[in-house]
Amino acid sequence: MERVAQYPFTAIVGQEEMKLSLILNVINPLLGGVLIKGEKGTAKSTAVRALAELLPAMECVHGCRFHCNPENPNDWCDDCRAKQEKEGSLPVEQRKMRVVELPVNATEDRVAGTLDIEYAIRHGQKKFEAGILADANRNILYVDEVNLLDDHVVDILLDAAAMGVNTVEREGVSYSHPARFVLVGTMNPEEGDIRPQLLDRFGLSVTVTGEHERDNRIEVIKRRLAYESDPDAFLARYSGTQKELADRILAAKELLPRVAIDDEYLGKVADLSLALGVDGHRADITVIKTALTNAAFRGHTRVDQEDLLKAAKLALPHRMRRRPFEEGTLDWDKVTEILA
């Protein structure tokens, strides 16, 4: 069966905050993922799959079940490390980033993987059966209806997303492997919410709705019909903007380690969190990391006010204190006053 061309990321009409939050997480997976809340039919899953298709193939260690990056020894799995020490080099292959989907009914073992304790006792070696997190390393992990997942499974996902490592422990035996992925959770608030403690663990959060401008809705229809009529021709129309965005993302990845932020802005972010009454320090750290990543995406080596405002808009709303059955609200006037 011939594969149908994926709808281009740059052809999606509107939804700018959703698209930016996805891009920033691809540039910097340590942001902790993004939670996309909104009604059905607002291009949530389309955007996720289109972003993976947009990016060029990446170098991986040939045959590695975790798709380790041959240029980053700090993130190698035990097998790649042992192979490098034994043979002196690692074979390389090209692989496209892909979207790994996690079913709503997934169990802890299916997500994190399992250890064969009997094998370890008999042979004195660890035998690990990889789970979804192994497949997700250096890919996009997409969780639709994340609010319906078991809380413990969500905890495992968010821990791995934050640390970049998945650790499985059983009967005193443990095994760790790289799990540096872009976590994308989507949900329809009408079908239930997730606990505030888990909500806070997502790096960024955006709310999406259908287009309310008549012309934009017409454009959505036109583009979808054109895509379904001739996918290849439609993709060709956007090949230039697709390549431009892909190049920009790759350049931002290279630039990110060199981006700096002034102490003055660190103080303003701390003042902002105190003024808004957010709990803990995760909000401060995420705002700073998001601002650094946004600066890199803009091609800048130093964070400015625009980066901080954008970061606050993506990282703070879902961390606002709220009463049961109420949405947290962000006082944007207060945000701009403090960050000015």
Q: Which residues carry out catalysis? A: 282
* Three-state secondary structure call for residue 240: helix
Closest Cα partner for 100 from 180, 40, 43, 174?
180
Rounded to an integer, what distance in angstroms lies between the CA atom of residue 102 and that of residue 235? 28
Bridge partners of 58, per DSSP, are 95
Helices (H), the chain: 16-27, 44-54, 78-87, 108-112, 117-123, 132-136, 151-163, 196-199, 214-229, 231-237, 239-255, 263-276, 282-297, 305-315, 332-339
Tokens 């964070």 sit on residue: 303
160 vs 214: CA distance, rounded Å: 42
Closest by CA to 50, choosing from 1, 16, 99, is: 99
Q: Which bin fits 13, alpha (ψ -120 to 50), beta or left (φ > 0)?
A: beta
How far, in whole angstroms, is CA 214 from its chain's centroid? 31
Report d(CA 198, CA 242) in Å as an integer. 34
Tell me the backbone φ, ψ of residue 51, rounded to 5 degrees: -65, -40
